Structure 1
Amino acid sequence: MKRLLFILFLLAAFCLAACKGGDGRQPSAAKTAGVAPDFVLRDITGNKVQLSQYRGKIIVLEFWATWCPPCKATVPELIALQDKYAAKGLVVVGIALDEGEGSQSKVSAFSKGHKINYPLLLGDENVSKSYGVFSIPATFLIGRDQKIITAYKGYVDGLEGLLSKEIDKNI
């Protein structure tokens, strides 16, 4: 019983550290200042996708995983942003950090089950490190010029509204 309580305590402490309250906005770290690091990843159908192919669009880049409850909570907000701003040149791009065999099918099934309307890519450690992502969810708003406008680390209550304000300034 003590072992179970200890494990629950550790999980709660980790969640509090990773899922900050407030607006979650963090000053951009050196790795995320300036131009968004380019990458090539595979999407859930196996096609290669490069971030720079979205140059000229505003990008909401979300690092997440199917097993992460705070990440799941942001999905409806990201779907709404994609619906609201796609015609104005916005694209939401999810980078799934699920690992192991079967992660592609797991992310694909999650996408279908939640009716995700934006591209999902299968991330790796190199991309996470290049953006300074050490906890999820982590959200980056990237301008048409591929420069990072703002970053939110951890769960952010009202993310859709905060991003909408920033997007409206940059459309």
Structure 2
Amino acid sequence: MRTLRLILLTACCWTAVAADAPRPSPPFTIERTTGPALNLRQYRGKVVALAFIQTTCPHCQALTTELNLIAHDYAARGVQFLECAFNPDATATMPGFLEHFKPSFPVGFSNQVAVMSYLQHSVLDPHPLYVPHMVFLDRAGVIRADYPGESDFFRNAGPNIRAELDKLLKAPAAHQ
């Protein structure tokens, strides 16, 4: 019993600090219904704004609309926007989602286990993984910011996303 408590305490403590930024981005692949899979490593050298969504979530759909506007403004500045859906029916709902929202950036899917692993969100964590969830990677592939769905970041998403991108774009590439 003592060993079990120690394991659970260790896991909970690890979870509490695991999602802190900055941290190196672990390998992650986003599958797509059309086109090749996207490996995050292929975007090294660019600032990346990565949103984890569910295709049927109204907040995620609103974020997609917002990201479309922002992506247009930041495309020439070397920012890559990506979305990854991980709802159980993402492969079935993705075509309709893409048709309706017409994102100007790559959108694909993965499974919940892979997403939770990438975000270092433990299955032992009593808090659910709320969406949308965004991470921002610098040019070296380091996660510099991580915003879970329940954070205040999304109350004013547009200006907050722009501020995060501006901060990453101003940072010297050598110090990232």
Q: Which runs of 5+ in 1 are unaligned?
A: 1-27
- TM superposition outliers: structure 1 runs of 4+ over 3 Å: none
Q: Distance in 1 between matches of 2:66 and 2:144?
A: 19
One-letter code aligned to 1:162: N
Listed one character per residue, the Cα deviations across residues 23-81 of structure 1 (whole Å, up to 9, x for unaligned) are xxxxx941454111111231231522100000011111100011112111211111112
Please name the residue that 2:79 is paired with. 90
Please name the residue that 1:11 is paired with. none
Question: Any idea what SS the aligned residue of 1:43 has?
Answer: coil
Please name the residue that 1:47 is paired with. 36
Q: Does 1:30 align with 2:25?
A: no
TM-score for both structures, normalised by structure 1 = 0.75
How is 1:5-20 mapped onto 2 (pairs within 5 angstroms)? none
Q: Distance in 2 between matches of 1:130 and 1:32?
A: 12
The higher relative CO (CA closer than 8 Å, separation ≥ 6) is in 1
Q: Which of 44, 56, 62 in structure 2 is aligned with 1:67?
A: 56
Q: Distance in 1 between matches of 2:31 and 2:47?
A: 20
One-letter code aligned to 2:24: V
Q: CA RMSD in A?
A: 1.9
Q: Which of 158, 161, 173 in structure 2 is aligned with 1:160?
A: 158
Q: Which of 47, 50, 75 in structure 2 is aligned with 1:58?
A: 47
Question: Any idea what SS the aligned residue of 2:31 has?
Answer: strand
Could you tell me whether the CA contact under 8 Å between 1:62 and 1:93 is conserved in 2? yes
In percent, how many aligned pairs have the same letter?
Answer: 27
More divergent stretch after superposition (77-86 vs 38-47): 38-47
Q: Distance in 2 between matches of 1:138 and 1:29?
A: 17
TM-score for both structures, normalised by structure 2 = 0.73
Q: Which runs of 5+ in 2 are unaligned?
A: 1-15, 122-128, 170-176
One-letter code aligned to 2:162: S
Q: Distance in 2 between matches of 1:162 and 1:64?
A: 18
Please name the residue that 1:106 is paired with. 93
Aligned length: 142
Q: Distance in 1 between matches of 2:144 and 2:42?
A: 18
